[in-house]
Amino acid sequence: MDVNEGKRKTPLGRRVTVKEVAAELGISPSTVSNAYNRPDQLSADLRERVFETAHKLGYTGPDPFGRGLRQRRANVVGVLFRDRLSYAFADPAAVLFLEGVSEAVEEAGLGLLLLPGGSLGGRDTEAIRAAAVDGVLIHSMAADDPLVSAAIERRLPAVVVDQPPIGTVPSVGIDDEGAARVAAEHLLELGHRRLGVVSFRLALETRSGMVEPQRRGAATLRPSGARLRGVAKAVSAAGISWDDVPVYECAVSSPAEGKTAAEALLSRDPRPTAILALSDQMAFGVLEAATQIGLSVPDDLSVVGFDDVPEAARSAPPLTTLHQPHVEKGLQAGRKLVAQLREEDPDGQEELFLLTRLVVRGSTAQAPS
């Protein structure tokens, strides 16, 4: 149960503290502390002697816990993920986001603490309550997630990503609706009239399968909900009934799920001539399904992805996809959080939108006549 059953002693017995180093040198503990934290407060000579005796006694620098308690600061920012961490690492888009975040925290000299959203079902708020962090980045969580409330309650500086601002908590994201609309319009302009959509999760709870029209509007996860709205607007504008466009919801954004989704969509009659996937990962699964069924992409089937992960340029065929600046998103979110930590005056309320663009590659073509 508990992580520490055994005895809790350092090999050498007791832990060495500033006090002991100070005693050994006949100076004040403050001076030892200053040797590590404010070199300008003592002579270079004494500082050197402090380090020497510290090393001799086995003191390895200020204890993080004592320092944290005193300074009320951890020099760490937390990132809160919707699902288990291992899911985040399996999602290239999330990884690119983290790449950007890590750039921001590194330039500020902070550490990066990853916090799991708990096993998919049970939302365990313990980790977020007990985390020693100065601020937190909330990544793509449902608006009604108890984890978000737990984070907000701690009144830590925070930034939310891919979701509307909450109270005074600023946000960073893209225009999901507009972007998806552009992607759909690309297919419509190529003459496709029978589309299929592969979406990822629409709400907190997990499910896979076809999405009935009445459920489409009720998404609590902003990205998928807004994107479906964008597609709906595009097809309606083209004179196609949105209710007639089949939408498949995947529980996780993976090639395997995307393949399952494509199999379901492509077995319908009439068969779609184009599939729009709301993530590249799922689009790769769509490509695989098409190949397996014997459909040629883009001749028999056009496929559009969303994200433009690096692999999209290398797939067979190269994927037409909606580019989203994932790294930049992480960088901006991280910087926004760091700014809050520094200035303590939240520029609040602010919502930052990053630009997207359609990248046309080899997976889309004119609709077959």
Partner DNA sequence: GATTTAGTCTGTAACGTTACAGTAAGTTAT
Partner DNA sequence: ATAACTTACTGTAACGTTACAGACTAAATC
User: Between residue 297 and residue 356, which ones bind a copy of itself under the rule CB under 8 A?
Assistant: 310-311, 314-316, 338, 341-345
Q: Does 28 bind DNA (CB under 7 A)?
A: yes
- The C-alpha atoms of residue 286 and residue 303 are separated, in whole angstroms, by 8
Segment 187-226, which members bind a copy of itself (CB under 8 A)?
Answer: none
Smallest distance, DNA to C-beta of residue 162, A: 32
Nearest to 248 by CA among 220, 228, 232, 218: 228
Binding-site residue total for DNA (CB under 7 A)? 32
Could you give the CA distance from residue 132 to residue 96 in angstroms, rounded to a whole number?
A: 24
Kindly indicate which of the ranges 23-31, 83-91, 231-239, 257-265 contains the residues binding a copy of itself, using the contact rule CB under 8 A.
Answer: 83-91
Nearest approach, Cβ of 185 to a copy of itself (angstroms)?
28
Q: How far apart are CA 63 and CA 17, in angstroms?
A: 8
Q: Closest distance between a copy of itself and the C-beta of residue 136, in Å?
A: 12
Stretch that binds DNA, among 41-49, 121-129, 160-168, 340-348 (CB under 7 A): 41-49
Contact partner at residue 18 from DNA, a copy of itself, none, CB < 5 to 8 Å by partner kind? DNA
By the rule CB under 7 A, 15 interacts with DNA: yes
Q: Closest separation between CB of residue 345 and DNA, Å? A: 19
* Greatest C-alpha distance within the chain: 91
Q: Which two tokens stand for residue 323?
A: 């580019």
Does residue number 113 form part of the binding site for a copy of itself (CB under 8 A)?
Answer: yes
Indicate whether 31 belongs to the interface with DNA (CB under 7 A): yes
Closest CA to 306 of 164, 143, 190, 178: 178
Q: How far is the CB of 81 from DNA (least distance, A)?
A: 25
Q: Burial, 369: exposed, middle or buried (Cβ in 10 Å; 0-12, 13-18, 19+)?
A: exposed
| Cα gap 267→262, rounded to integer Å | 8
- The yes or no reply on residue 87 touching DNA (CB under 7 A) is no
**E-state strands within the chain:** 76-80, 111-115, 135-139, 158-161, 171-174, 195-199, 209-210, 247-249, 274-277, 302-307, 320-323, 351-354, 357-359
Q: Is 36 in the site for DNA (CB under 7 A)?
A: yes
Binding track, positions 271-300, relative to a copy of itself; x by CB under 8 A = -------------x---x------------
The C-alpha atoms of residue 311 and residue 307 are separated, in whole angstroms, by 10
Q: What residues numbered 27-46 form the site for a copy of itself, per CB under 8 A?
A: none
Question: Cα–Cα distance between 65 and 197 in angstroms, integer?
Answer: 50
Q: How far is the CB of 50 from DNA (least distance, A)?
A: 9
